[in-house]
Amino acid sequence: MPEFQSRFKEIQRRVPIDEHNFSIQFDETKCKNCTLCRRTCAATQTVMDYYYLPSTNDMPICVHCGQCAAVCPFGAITEVSDVDKVKAAIADPSKVVMIQTAPAVRVGLGEAFGMDPGTFVEGKMVAALKKLGADYVFDTDFGADLTIMEEAMELLHRLQSEEIPIPQFTSCCPAWVEFLETYYPDLMPHLSSTKSPISILSAVMKTWFVKQQNLDPKDVVIVDVAPCTAKKAEIRRPELNASAAYWNQEDLRDTDISITTRELAEWIKSEGIDFDQLEDDHFDKVFGESTGGGRIFGNSGGVMEAALRAAYYFFTGRKAPADFIPFEPVRGLEGVKKATVVFGHFVIHVAAISGLGNARKFLDELVAAGNFEDYSFIEVMACPGGCIGGGGQPKVKLPQVK
C-alpha cells in the first residue's frame, strides 16, 4: 500500500466516525482508499489536518459538515440514517408528528428524482411528506424570519453599544459554530446568540403551538428535513431545549429527529411513491407562511442579506432598495464576497464566506493584519456555496477538491 494511503488508513481509523458521531458513519468494508473524503476534509474544509489539537488530548475533531459523505463515491461514508425513528413515530398512534423542511431541501430534492438541479419542488415535497404520514408539514422559512429579526436587532445593538464586539458572526450554520468553538474559541464573543431557523421554529412548535393545540408535549415528535448532516449533532446540543424549561420536563428536546434531503429521497423511493406524479400540496398554516426572506438562506450571502434588510427596516422604517448590498468577490480568496452598506449614520462593511477552508484563510488574514473591527457583520456557511451544497443534499455533482 503506498505510504500516503497507509497513512490515510491510519488516520481514518482515528477519525471520529464511530458510534459517538451522530451525523456521519463509516463502513470500512466499502472504502476503496480513494482518499477523496480525506482531501475534501483536509483541503476544502481544513478540518482533518487540524484534528490533533493538544487541547483535545489528541482526540480528532469532526464538525459534522458531511462534505466527506457528499463526495464519497462508494457509499463508505454516509449520514447516520434516522428515517426509521421517524417511521416508528408515524406508526405510533399516540404520537403527533410535525415535520419542518429547510429552504434548500425544496430546490435539492428534485435532483434525486432525475430533475434538473435547482428545480423547485415545494408542492411535491409537501405532498410526499403528507403521504408518508406526517400530521403537520411546516416551513422552516417561518423560523428563518424569526432568525432574521433576532440577528438584525442584535446587529443594531452591537453597532450602537460597546458591550458586545463587532464584527457579528452569523450563527445559523451548526458546522461553522463547531468550527469556531474548536479552532477560534477567543472569537466566540463575536458569534450571534441567535438560534438557527430550525432550532427557533422547533422551540416555537414544541411550546406555543403544542399549547395552542392542547397537546401533551411528550406525544409530539418534531422532525426537521435539512440539506445538512450537522443538524443531527446540533439538535442534541444541551442548550437547545427551550421546551424542557417551558413544560418543566427535563427529557424534552425541541427537535427530536433530523433527517437529510438524501434520506427523505430514499424514504420516498422505498415507499414506491411516484414523486413526479404527485399533485402539489401546501404547507400547514401558521408556520407555513413567511416573508420570503428565509428563502434566500440556502445560498451563500442569503442570511446576511435578509438580516441587513431587516436592520435597515427597523432603523429607517422603510424597505431597503433592491440593490442594497453590492456584493463583489474578494480578490485572492475563493468563496468570499464583500460589500459596504450605508444607512442612517452607519457604514457597514460585510463579508459572506462559504466553505470552512475559506473561512479559516479569511479569519487568519484578518487576525494577522489586526484590522478585525474593519468588518461589522460576517456570514459563514460551512459548505461550499452554502446549504445548497450541503453535506446531506443529493449526490449529483461532486464538489471540486483542490
State the catalytic residues.
151, 154, 172, 192, 231, 234, 239, 387
Q: How far apart are CA 140 and CA 117, in angstroms?
A: 21
Smallest distance, Å, CB 3 to ligand SF4?
32
30-69: which residues touch ligand SF4 (CB under 6 A)?
65
Angle at 363 between CA 360 and CA 366, to 5 degrees: 145
Cα torsion 355, 359, 365, 369: sign: positive
Peptide bond into 167 cis (omega under 30): yes
Q: Number of residues in contact with ligand SF4, rule: CB under 6 A?
A: 15
Site track for ligand SF4 across 303-342, x = CB under 6 A: ----------------------------------------
Contact residues for 381 (Cβ-Cβ < 8 A; gap 6+)? 170, 173, 176, 300, 303, 353, 354, 355, 387
Q: How far apart are CA 20 and CA 16, in angstroms?
A: 7
Q: Which is nearer to ligand SF4, 209 or 377 (CB)?
A: 377
Q: Which is nearer to ligand SF4, 126 or 382 (CB)?
A: 382
Angle at 35 between CA 34 and CA 41, to 5 degrees: 150
Stretch that binds ligand SF4, among 80-88, 242-250, 278-286, 378-386 (CB under 6 A): 378-386
Contact residues for 110 (Cβ-Cβ < 8 A; gap 6+)? 116, 119, 120, 121, 124
Contact residues for 214 (Cβ-Cβ < 8 A; gap 6+)? none
Q: Which is nearer to ligand SF4, 207 or 255 (CB)?
A: 255
First to last CA, the chain: 23
With binding defined as CB under 6 A, does residue 382 bind ligand SF4? yes
Which of 228, 351, 359, 366 binds ligand SF4 (CB under 6 A)? It is 228
With binding defined as CB under 6 A, does residue 146 bind ligand SF4? no
Q: How far apart are CA 273 and CA 200, in angstroms?
A: 31
Smallest distance, Å, CB 298 to ligand SF4?
8
With binding defined as CB under 6 A, does residue 107 bind ligand SF4? no
Q: Which is nearer to ligand SF4, 175 or 348 (CB)?
A: 175
Smallest distance, Å, CB 275 to ligand SF4?
22
Stretch that binds ligand SF4, among 30-38, 239-247, 312-320, 375-383 (CB under 6 A): 375-383
Site track for ligand SF4 across 162-201, x = CB under 6 A: -----------xxxx-------------------------
Q: Which is nearer to ligand SF4, 167 or 227 (CB)?
A: 227
Do 359 and 273 meet the contact criterion of CB atoms below 8 Å apart? no
With binding defined as CB under 6 A, does residue 381 bind ligand SF4? yes
Do 378 and 358 meet the contact criterion of CB atoms below 8 Å apart? no
Which of 227, 294, 302, 335 binds ligand SF4 (CB under 6 A)? It is 227
Q: Which is nearer to ligand SF4, 197 or 217 (CB)?
A: 197
Q: Which is nearer to ligand SF4, 64 or 252 (CB)?
A: 64
Q: Give the residue carrying C-alpha cell 427537535.
A: 255
134-164 exposure pattern, b = at least 16 Cβ within 10 A, e = fewer:
bebbbbbbbbbbbbbbbbbebbbebbeeeee
Smallest distance, Å, CB 29 to ligand SF4?
27
Report the interface residues with ligand SF4, using CB under 6 A: 65, 173-176, 227-228, 230, 381-383, 386-387, 390-391
